[in-house]
Amino acid sequence: MISSMTGYGEAEGESDGVTYSVQIKSVNNRYFKTVIKLPEAAAFLEEEIEKVLRQSFLRGTINYVLRVKNAPVDVLFRIDESALRSVVEKLKTVASSADVGSGIDIVGLLDLPGVMAPASPDQQVAGRIREGVLRITAEAVARLTQARDAEGAALAADLQGHCKIISRQLDQISARSGMVLQEYFRRLKKRVDELLAGVKIDVDEDALAREVAVFAERSDISEELARLSFHLDEFVKACAGDSQAGRRLEFISQEMLREANTIASKACDNEITRRVVEIKCEIDRLKEQVQNVQ
């Protein structure tokens, strides 16, 4: 069954007393794209997380956010105490030489370059962070996959509904196409009879037959109907088959529209033309919905 490109999944878990929360949201995109946001302590995992996402999803823009809760201060950032002391000493010296008060706002000094920086975990801590984050990421990916599959099932039902409408229209066109030639022959003969009324000239039946044969050749849509019916069957099969059938469905819908346009241009009948317009409307709906399929 096909899968949608839109969905949401989240998971939360604890590792070494730190709570990690992963939120993944996917939206439509013709290609695969990731937007990954990580805290500094887990920034080293970006490449590995992207690999996990790429292995799980074929198309769509995947927005991944990792948040850290209840983390000790030393996990999030470190303070260069030596640099801070140096700054404080210099400020005291300046305050003394300028004969001004020496009240120092320590919090304000933390914004100075080099005083405070994101913490870089050692190898052992990094390994535990990696294990915890990837485990929670796998849970969030599984939930996102479930959401995309559920929406994919709804998409498949909608697409198959449009395909049934197209199929009924094709049956009507096929039945009607056999009558068009007969009606053309009757109209042509009636017109010729009207033109020759009162003139003692016999209708050239051979010439009439040749004209009808030319019309039949020019307006024959049997091949186009067969191809469109074949594409329609392939479209329905693709909806029930590979979960990553988006590109295939796009191509098939394009071919369906091509055949419908050819039928409209060849069929010299108002009823067939009206039904082809209905088919093209349904194909446009298919093409619009297929943009949501992975």
As a whole number, the mean pLDDT across the chain is 81
pLDDT tens digit string along 115-161? 566 666 667 777 888 899 999 999 999 999 999 999 999 999 999 99
The answer to whether residues 132 and 13 touch, using CB atoms and an 8 Å cutoff, is yes
Contact yes or no for 248/242 (Cβ under 8 A): yes
Average pLDDT, integer, range 270-287 = 92
Supply the DSSP symbol for 45: G
Q: What angle do CA 40, 44, 50 make, to 5 degrees?
A: 110
- Chain region(s) in the chain for CATH 3.30.230: 7-72+122-149
Tell which wins on pLDDT, 143 or 220.
143
Q: Is-contact 1 152, C-beta < 8 A? A: yes
**According to the per-residue pLDDT averaged within each range, which of 67-71, 198-202, 263-267 is highest?**
263-267
282: nearest Cα among 164, 174, 175: 164
Most confident of 57-61, 93-97, 101-105, 190-194: 57-61
Choices 1.25.40, 1.10.20, 3.30.70, 3.30.230: CATH for 7-72+122-149? 3.30.230
What is the arithmetic mean of pLDDT over 88-108?
66
Question: The pTM is what?
Answer: 0.71
Helix intervals (H) in 57-122 = 73-76, 81-97, 106-109
**How many residues would you count in the chain?**
294
